[in-house]
Structure 1
Amino acid sequence: MHRPIHVNLVFVLITALSMTACSRQAIYETAIGLERSSAGLEPATVEVGNLDIAYLRNQQAVDGDTIVMVHGFGANKDNWTRMAGYLTDDFNVYAIDLPGHGGSSKPLDIGYRLEDQAGYLARILEALSIGEAHIMGNSMGGAISALYAANHADRVKSLVLFDPAGILEYPSPLVDLVSDGNNPLIPKQPGDFERLMDFALEEEPFVPWPILSVMEDRAIANQKVNEVIFAAIRDAGFEADFRNAIARIKAPVLIIWGRQDRVINYRNGEVFAQAIPDARLEVMEGIGHGPMIEAPEASAELFLEFIGHER
């Protein structure tokens, strides 16, 4: 089984590289490459119309089902790397960078509503010749994955939603912050990315400073496109239509939510479970908005148990 790189190994690598003339960017690329490799993943790109889409895939294909992983707002494909390490021995994993995110194209003049992005996901999977698959999504990616499952029942073997967006019946601390014009999900200046991690994650993974600083630089550079995407989702007035759409989902659905989620109240999981036929809800104690980051092995085990997969 592939396992995430041990923290001490990463620390040794970072220390060694820091003693040379390598830049923070070189340190970041080396460390992220090692973490991907340890999870059995490699980066690739595909053209979808006028968009270049970045993604991660198995280094070696296996004789197993396919899993597609869809990140949340302002995030990227590497949010899934540590969890994927527990799955790539038995599944062909694809972690996608949605348009506007990660290494994919970031045009400001395309639609970024949830239904628009579900359409992009369908086109991406078609370009990758992915047919039936297990679909996983977190936060915004959870809402997008749910819409994809509602619209493409024949292509979804199971659906796993990690703290999904789309329903906000129960408020969260994020709502008040956004109302006050203080959105912690969009870093704008130094210090904001660490604030984002503190806000979104209850059980934060260890991230050495050189890597964290590059992640912050990239997040700040993406401020404009993040504002466009956030506004498109916020202003869509989509919740009633979203609930009607997810009621059409036919695939088995597992909803996993961190009880300490400050981005989207975990009690919205109850509403999701009621809206989707025969959905199962699992609430993880001591976990925030990113279970696949905060508890990757436990998240993978919940999925494997849900689909009845035995190693």
Structure 2
Amino acid sequence: MLQSSPISLALLFVTVLLTTACSRQGIYENAMDWERSGAGLEVSQINVGELEITYLRNREANNGNTIVLVHGFAANKDNWIRMAGELTEEFNVYAIDLPGHGDSSKPLDLGYRLEEQVGYLALILKALNIETMHMMGNSMGGAITALYAATYPEQIETAVLFNPAGILEYHNELTELVLAGDNPLIPTQPGDFERLVDFAMEEKPFIPWPILGVMEEKAIANQDINKKIFSDIREAGLNSDFRDAIKHIEDPVLIVWGKEDRVLDYRNGALFKQDIPGAQLTILEGIGHAPMIETPEESAQLFLEFSQPYRSNNDQEKMVAR
């Protein structure tokens, strides 16, 4: 999704139309480059085995701690731009396109269960030479973040789970729709992407129509891989292994949940808090499934306040080392 105000995005759109003969794809690419640059980010790629992984990172490195951002199902690295823009001056930010998502490789014969995705993420971070980090994840990425903390506790400084998947004791609108054979998270025809945005978010960002159209085309083109991933992660949500695993998390964990979430019921947050030793829970009124998009400044501030006791010494040590 996009950063910035409706006015600034509209001005960019008009400027592009007046000064170039861009196609919709060209307008989309220019707009995304502008958004990333404004947030202090740039796109990079790395090969991990047979997979090509695309990610965002700081345009300029700094002395701060590292933050790794893990998107949700059928989402991508750009979902973090709005919040990352609040953090790149102080932290080194990496937003990863997981396998099967965004601009990374999308093999249909790969396994996409949560624990498998944790393994892929570990290989990606090893290839990037990231040894310790603060990690944040949304939805499916929140479940992956929780499992990563349980599996690699020595690597995690803090973990923030935005509306995480993995515990489904409380059902809501999505469950009813999926059981009826209608999954609003997987666009398959024109009009479905706008429906997805309306369903997932309460405070929706402004998206100019040419950019929205390209996003929809990409989502529809990815429907086969999205159906495969959804099937794989749905299995993980129906067994007790996930809850058993997160009970062993040793790292500081903050759970943030938008109360108006129609994808994953916010009441599951209390169960995450119950299962993860010492976890904190914040419920955001008037926010849906993607707090980092819907209220990026507040989401970043929650992380800054929560992580402060666990990063100040590291920051000071880095400054002394320099």
The TM-score, its normalising length taken from structure 2, stands at 0.94
Q: Using the alignment, how far apart are the partners of 2:237 and 2:5 within structure 1?
A: 44
Superposition pairs for residues 181-260 of structure 1, below 5 Å?
181-236=181-236, 238-260=238-260
- Say if 1:166 and 1:239, in contact at 8 Å, map to a contact too: no
Q: Within the alignment, does 1:11 sit opposite 2:10 as a pair? A: yes
Q: Using the alignment, how far apart are the partners of 2:140 and 2:3 within structure 1?
A: 25
Q: Within the alignment, does 1:125 sit opposite 2:125 as a pair? A: yes
The AA in structure 2 aligned to 1:143 is A
The AA in structure 1 aligned to 2:262 is R
The AA in structure 2 aligned to 1:288 is G
Q: Using the alignment, how far apart are the partners of 2:4 and 2:182 within structure 1?
A: 35
Q: Using the alignment, how far apart are the partners of 1:305 and 1:236 within structure 2?
A: 32
Superposition pairs for residues 64-213 of structure 1, below 5 Å?
64-213=64-213
The AA in structure 2 aligned to 1:241 is D
- Say if 2:167 and 2:237, in contact at 8 Å, map to a contact too: no
Render the CA deviation track for 1:86-122: whole Å, top value 9, x for unaligned.
0001000000000000000000001000010011010
Q: How far did residue 308 of structure 1 move?
A: 2.1
Q: Using the alignment, how far apart are the partners of 2:3 and 2:266 within structure 1?
A: 27
The AA in structure 2 aligned to 1:15 is V
Q: How far did residue 287 of structure 1 move?
A: 0.2
The AA in structure 1 aligned to 2:26 is A
Task: Report the more deviating stretch, 9-18 or 290-299.
Answer: 9-18
The AA in structure 1 aligned to 2:37 is S
Distance 1:238 1:171, change over 3 A: closer
Q: Using the alignment, how far apart are the partners of 1:290 and 1:235 within structure 2?
A: 23
Q: How far did residue 307 of structure 1 move?
A: 1.3
Q: Which runs of 5+ in 1 are unaligned?
A: none
- Say if 2:165 and 2:237, in contact at 8 Å, map to a contact too: no
- Say if 2:47 and 2:53, in contact at 8 Å, map to a contact too: yes
- Say if 1:82 and 1:296, in contact at 8 Å, map to a contact too: yes
Q: Using the alignment, how far apart are the partners of 2:204 and 2:146 within structure 1?
A: 26
Superposition pairs for residues 286-301 of structure 1, below 5 Å?
286-301=286-301
Is the partner of 2:240 in helix, strand or coil?
helix
Q: Using the alignment, how far apart are the partners of 2:109 and 2:213 within structure 1?
A: 29
Q: Using the alignment, how far apart are the partners of 2:255 and 2:237 within structure 1?
A: 23
Q: Using the alignment, how far apart are the partners of 1:17 and 1:232 within structure 2?
A: 41
- Say if 1:5 and 1:34, in contact at 8 Å, map to a contact too: no
Render the CA deviation track for 1:45-81: whole Å, top value 9, x for unaligned.
0111100000000000010100000000000000000
Q: How far did residue 4 of structure 1 move?
A: 4.5
The AA in structure 1 aligned to 2:280 is R
Question: CA RMSD, aligned part only?
Answer: 1.5
Superposition pairs for residues 254-273 of structure 1, below 5 Å?
254-273=254-273
> Percentage identity across aligned positions?
62
- Say if 1:260 and 1:285, in contact at 8 Å, map to a contact too: yes
Distance 1:236 1:302, change over 3 A: closer
Render the CA deviation track for 1:179-218: whole Å, top value 9, x for unaligned.
0000000000000000000000000001111110000000
Q: Using the alignment, how far apart are the partners of 2:137 and 2:94 within structure 1?
A: 12
Q: Within the alignment, does 1:55 sit opposite 2:43 as a pair? A: no
Q: Using the alignment, how far apart are the partners of 2:173 and 2:42 within structure 1?
A: 36
- Say if 2:68 and 2:133, in contact at 8 Å, map to a contact too: yes
Aligned length: 309
Q: How far did residue 236 of structure 1 move?
A: 4.0
2:318 corresponds in structure 1 to: none
Q: Using the alignment, how far apart are the partners of 2:308 and 2:97 within structure 1?
A: 28
Q: Using the alignment, how far apart are the partners of 2:170 and 2:3 within structure 1?
A: 35
Is the partner of 1:235 in helix, strand or coil?
helix
Q: Using the alignment, how far apart are the partners of 1:89 and 1:168 within structure 2?
A: 37
The TM-score, its normalising length taken from structure 1, stands at 0.97
1:23 corresponds in structure 2 to: 23
Render the CA deviation track for 1:227-285: whole Å, top value 9, x for unaligned.
00001112346531000100111110000000000000000000000000000000000
Distance 1:112 1:4, change over 3 A: closer
Q: Using the alignment, how far apart are the partners of 1:301 and 1:16 within structure 2?
A: 33
Q: How far did residue 13 of structure 1 move?
A: 1.6
